[in-house]
Structure 1
Amino acid sequence: MTPKALTALIDATWPATRFSTVGPWTIREGAGGGSRVSAATARDVAGDAEIETAVAAMRALGQTPLFMLREDEEPLDRALEARGYQVKDPVTLYTTPAGALAVQPPPVTCFEVWPPVASQLEIWAKGGIGPERIAIMDRAKGPKTTLLGRLDDTPAGTLFVALHDDVAMVHAVEIAPAFRRRGLGRFMMQGAATWARDNNAQTLAVLVTKANTGANALYSSLGMSAAAGYHYRIHPEA
């Protein structure tokens, strides 16, 4: 997946509050929703001379300067490093053909729910996914849903999935601590792939930080392949 296609996929399925074009940059207003909706990205070749333009635009929004560095942006990466910007959250994009993973989960294990119900909001909140990120899900256009995972007749996990072109992107996967390592993550990803296939998606995708060893192992075990990646650089004041 090309860097521009990856950025378009994220912006469509996990959108910022507002996008603006400032010089060679796309500036995102995140409203407290995290790095994906707050980072600046280069629309065209952007070098050292243009960095302060993006910095000023992000500061005008009350945001700490944060840049997303995708593949083939090494000169910009080096320029930010020289200014003291620190690497934050290297991320891998995993993908698989939706049909290959579209296995019906066991009965009463996964349910499509929109809008999300209180038990899902509680699971997300305990995992650090609060109202600001729920608002991102509300903003996403086009086909979307959440999955509620259940074990022992109890709400145990949740995720969000949305469609852009022919790719369904999974976000905000959260399993309640008491139910981890029991296969629910696998069942929920299979449920997401089934939803993706039924909505004519060719590909299922998910982003995960390299530091999340459990999630990386899960997605690899499902036959998903690393298709792209990026990292952030954040102002040293952070």
Structure 2
Amino acid sequence: MTPEALTALIDATWPAKSMTDVAGWTIREGAGGGSRVSAATATPTAKINERGQAEASMRALGQRPLFMVRHGEDALDAALEADGYAIKDPVTYYTAPTATLAAERPPAVTCFQVWPPLATQAEIWDAGGVDDARLAVMARAAGPKTCVLGRIHDTPAGTAFAAIHDGTAMLHAIETAHAFRRNGLARHMIRALAFWAQDHEAAQIALLVTKANVGANALYTSLGMTPVGGYHYRIHPEA
């Protein structure tokens, strides 16, 4: 997948409140929804050493200047580093054929598809840092979408969100409550969403995870997902 296609997938399945073009840069209004919906990206007309208007636009939105640096954007990365921008949250993009993940159904009464999310899911997400602003991101996604409620011993224990764009189901906000981790629930929720994706004719499953999340990276690899790229952010040194 090209960097531009990956960005389009993110924008469709985890959308910013608004996007505008400013002097060749795509400016995202995140509305508190995190880096993914707040970072600026370069378009083909962007001049990497002329970022003043982009930075001013982000500040006007109440956002600290933040740029997503995708695979192959080495010149942009070097220019931002020279201006004191620090690396933030390197991310790996994983993908797999839907059929690979939809090969084995989760145990009975473990995972339930729900939309809109239930209050108990919102509580699980909130405890993991997925707050109301990120729930608003999910609500903005326009394509086919769903979330799954994971249960252990008849107790709500996990939740995850998925949306489809251009034949790919993108998984976001996979969260297991702390007391129920290491029970395989994340694996079950991913498989449940894969069956949902298969029903909606999505040929690929994809997700993003920070490189620092060692456990999640190991899980996705064990499921047969392949790392095929990624990006990192560069954040302005001054708030």
> Do these two structures clear the TM 0.5 threshold for a shared fold by scoring above it?
yes
| 1:138 alignment counterpart | 139
CA contact (8 A) 2:24 2:47 kept: no
CA contact (8 A) 1:47 1:75 kept: no
1: CA distance, partners of 2:48 / 2:117: 43
CA contact (8 A) 2:128 2:175 kept: yes
What are the superposed Cα offsets for residues 156-176 of structure 1, whole Å, 9 maximum, x if unpaired? 000000000100000000000
Percent identity of equivalent pairs: 64
Number of residue pairs the alignment of both structures matches: 238
**Structure 1 runs, 4 residues or longer, greater than 4 Å off:** none
What are the superposed Cα offsets for residues 66-117 of structure 1, whole Å, 9 maximum, x if unpaired? 0000011000100000000000000001000001111211100000000000
1: CA distance, partners of 2:94 / 2:65: 27
RMSD over aligned Cα atoms: 0.8
Point out where structure 2 has 5 or more consecutive residues left out of the alignment. none
| 1:37 alignment counterpart | 37
CA contact (8 A) 1:47 1:79 kept: no
2: CA distance, partners of 1:110 / 1:47: 47
- Tell me, yes or no, if structure 1 residue 209 matches structure 2 residue 200: no
What are the superposed Cα offsets for residues 152-194 of structure 1, whole Å, 9 maximum, x if unpaired? 1100000000000100000000000111111111111101111
Give the drift of 1:45: 5.0
| 2:176 alignment counterpart | 175
Give the drift of 1:227: 1.5
The TM-score, its normalising length taken from structure 2, stands at 0.98
2: CA distance, partners of 1:99 / 1:48: 41
Q: Secondary structure at the match of 2:31?
A: coil
Q: Secondary structure at the match of 1:68?
A: strand
The TM-score, its normalising length taken from structure 1, stands at 0.98
2: CA distance, partners of 1:51 / 1:77: 13
Point out where structure 1 has 5 or more consecutive residues left out of the alignment. none
Give the drift of 1:118: 0.8
| 2:21 alignment counterpart | 21
